[in-house]
Chains A and B, each alone.
Chain A
Amino acid sequence: MKAVEVKHVYFKYENEWVLEDVNFSLEDKEFMAIIGPNGGGKTTLLKILLGFLKPTIGKVKIYGKPPEKNRLLIGYVPQHTNFALDLPITVFDIVLQGRLKKGKFFYNKEDKEKAKEVLKTLDIYNLKDKKIKNLSGGQRQKVLIARALVSEPKLLIMDEPTSAIDPKGQKEILDLIESFNITRIVVSHDIKILLRKVDKIAYIHKKAIIHEGPKLKIPIDKHFCEIELINFLKDEECLI
């Protein structure tokens, strides 16, 4: 069974096609980066993968079932980390939310142990009693990653995990994502992610161009900045 299967997905918003014939699949534990211009449909695709939007045409399966039926297998890290900052809530309480599910009203010992373990893995255990307001951008991002990981997901979906973080923090977050041994889909503006051990790269601009990561031939010896890389990935011929 594939971890993620996207087959002939089209999405129409009002009268405009936002996505056209998107196809890709991921095996268990594969790591995919999604890049592309703003307004190119990255966020729409992400919402379809999470089951918040239904494709106008086509099928999406997450571990064999439609996303909305298999949501508990998905860990999600949203793009914006600077929301509800005034809320009187500690880091630990936020992370525990990843253990909520239908029919469960109270956290048990196992939930708390798991939350502590994840906080330690991400090296933010010392922040557990802090209010979210008093954290840096990178720390907030880690808290949301912890909330996603604590539910023990098989698929981790992250939207721009390195935006609004300083370069040192970005490296740390990317190192972490690379180290997770689960299926990962990361939407990113930050093309440094492409220099990581990604298995697949999807360039989304209405249509999706899929590149198999390890086979990607990036001419690093030549002058090569973000624009060239984006242009390079637009071109299907870099696939071999």
Chain B
Amino acid sequence: MFDLISNSIYASILLSIAIAIIGSLIVINKTTAITGSIAHGSFGGIGIALYLGANVLLTTSIFAVFLAIILAFITLKFSHRQDSLIGVIWAIGMSIGIIFLNLAPGYQADALSYLFGNILLVEDKDLLFMGIIDLIILISIIFLYHRFLAMSYDREFLTLRGINANLLYTYFLILTSLTIVMSVRAIGIILILALFTIPSLIAERFTKRFFTMMILSGILGLVFMVGGIIISFYYNISPTPTIVIIASIALFLSLFKRS
């Protein structure tokens, strides 16, 4: 059995590292809507890649990073209307994706798999891509941990310390977009939000330091994914929704903990 699901277990480990770090930052920076916008909007990149016959991960990465930069600009310059504009970007990206899929020759059955993903079908080259993104995120958090924490607490103060808080915020959204792309094959763009936020939401309730929040959310993410993989493998159901339901039950139970 392990041979059949080994790649999905490796994917879970690699994904849990990125999700632990980026998911925790998403929760404390309240950028869930922005993350949803990049995730759904990046369908545009998938459509373009399938139309051109180009490398999907690479094309989608470029597209998602582009969206992250636009969203950073919007949230920094038009903060009073950011929620509407975040929704607009969300829809524009998906529309681009669908139009390019219509134009692409033949029936693109592959496209649907990007919407919901399938962690049981992750290939070696996907693992390599995940590994590279993990490395970028790990190096970033080692050097930028204190800055990210200060940014999450009080961006104005960070600026006063001579650090470009807007640039740091944009970089954080770029890392978010890369984490989305690395999760697309395994989790799919529709349900990414749940997996990015639930482990961190639970972890936050049990920790008083950001570092331990990241570690705990990584462990939780890994448990949810492996649990989901095993259940979906035995019952022959889709892994992503299974993972999301397990995580949601855990979140529900964690709400009983007194804060």
Contact surface of A with B, Cβ cutoff 8 Å: 50, 52, 71-72, 74, 76, 78, 83-84, 86-90, 93-94, 96-98, 100-102, 105-107, 129-131, 147, 151
Contacts and interface: CB of A to CB of B under 8 A. Distances in A.
A71 B159 CA distance: 9
Nearest to B203: A88
A122 to B, nearest CB: 17
Nearest to A106: B146
A52 B156 contact: yes
14 contacts: A71-B160, A71-B162, A76-B157, A78-B156, A83-B154, A84-B28, A90-B209, A93-B209, A97-B146, A97-B158, A100-B147, A101-B163, A129-B208, A131-B208
B207 to A, nearest CB: 5
User: Could you tell me the dominant secondary structure of chain A's interface residues?
Assistant: loop
Interface in B148-205: 149-150, 152-154, 156-163, 204
A50 B209 contact: no
Interface of B: 28, 143-144, 146-147, 149-150, 152-154, 156-163, 204, 207-210, 212-213
A101 B156 contact: no
A72 B146 CA distance: 17
A100 B146 contact: yes
A101 B161 contact: yes
Contacts of A131: 208
User: Could you tell me the dominant secondary structure of chain B's interface residues?
Assistant: helix
Given A87-B28, A88-B28, A100-B146, A147 B208 contact: no
B149 A93 contact: yes
Nearest to B207: A88
Contacts of B152: 84, 87
Nearest to B164: A102
